[in-house]
């Protein structure tokens, strides 16, 4: 039997398909406050299906600060596609590949990300979804991704900028993976230096 052919490509979100041009890290500040507050708990905003940062602070047990909301709003307003994102997704879809967004995201970022990408992807597997609540590279996340795509793991390619979360996690689940290393002068095996290299490597489906 021949090598299984890639039928679907899953992409990480931030620093792969999209970028935050004005990062403010409100979650880091909130969780730092939780670590200093007696009795508070440091929940993972990527894992919890808690809709707002205000509700997340309450769930952690810390007093909410208005600057966290302002910082989050600035981050969300600064989200934009990476240079090649929409062209690459369009090329892959035209070539017959099934496309997925596969990312660790807090709920606040889900709709802004989908607003930019939903016309170009077939499905989304997100860590904060109530039926998932698993973060890459956990096996449960990649099991959910396979279910969402509806194909055997060997027919799915994962592309992302994190060696551990996107590459090692996907490969441990039986998927292929490409590590996005922006600007690499001599990409090694399993690496690409830009999204535009992905369709070139895959060819027509």
- Please give the pLDDT value at position 1: 40
- Please give the pLDDT value at position 184: 73
Which pTM value belongs to this model?
0.94
Instruction: State the average pLDDT over residues 189-202.
Output: 93
Instruction: State the average pLDDT over residues 63-72.
Output: 97
- Please give the pLDDT value at position 152: 97
> For residue 72, is it left (φ>0), alpha (ψ between -120 and 50) or beta?
alpha
Strands of the chain, DSSP E? 8-11, 18-20, 79-81, 98-103, 123-126, 156-160, 176-180, 191-192
Instruction: State the average pLDDT over residues 118-135.
Output: 97
Instruction: State the average pLDDT over residues 57-64.
Output: 97
Band of the pLDDT at 151, cuts 50, 70, 90? very high
Angle, CA 19 vertex, CA 30 and CA 169 arms, to 5°: 80
Between the two ends of the chain, the Cα-to-Cα distance in Å is 18
Instruction: State the average pLDDT over residues 137-162.
Output: 98
- Please give the pLDDT value at position 3: 62
Percent of the chain at pLDDT above 70?
98
């Amino acid at each position: 039997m021949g090598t299984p052919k890639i039928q679907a490509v899953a992409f990480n979100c931030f620093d792969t398909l999209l970028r935050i041009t004005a990062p403010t890290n409100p979650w880091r500040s909130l969780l730092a406050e939780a670590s200093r507050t007696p009795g508070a708990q440091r929940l993972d905003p990527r894992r919890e299906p808690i809709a707002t940062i205000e509700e997340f602070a309450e769930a952690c047990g810390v007093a909410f600060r208005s600057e966290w909301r302002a910082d989050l709003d600035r981050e969300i307003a600064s989200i934009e596609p990476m240079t090649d994102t929409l062209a690459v997704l369009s090329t892959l879809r035209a070539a017959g590949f099934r496309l997925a967004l596969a990312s660790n995201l807090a709920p606040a970022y889900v709709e802004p990300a989908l607003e930019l990408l939903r016309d170009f992807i077939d499905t989304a597997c997100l860590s904060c979804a109530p039926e998932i609540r698993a973060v890459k590279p956990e096996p449960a996340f990649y099991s959910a991704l396979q279910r969402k795509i509806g194909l055997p793991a060997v027919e799915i390619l994962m592309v992302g900028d994190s060696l551990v979360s996107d590459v090692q996690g996907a490969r441990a689940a039986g998927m292929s993976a490409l590590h996005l290393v922006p600007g690499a002068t001599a990409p090694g095996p399993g690496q690409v230096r830009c999204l535009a290299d992905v369709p070139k490597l895959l060819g027509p489906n």
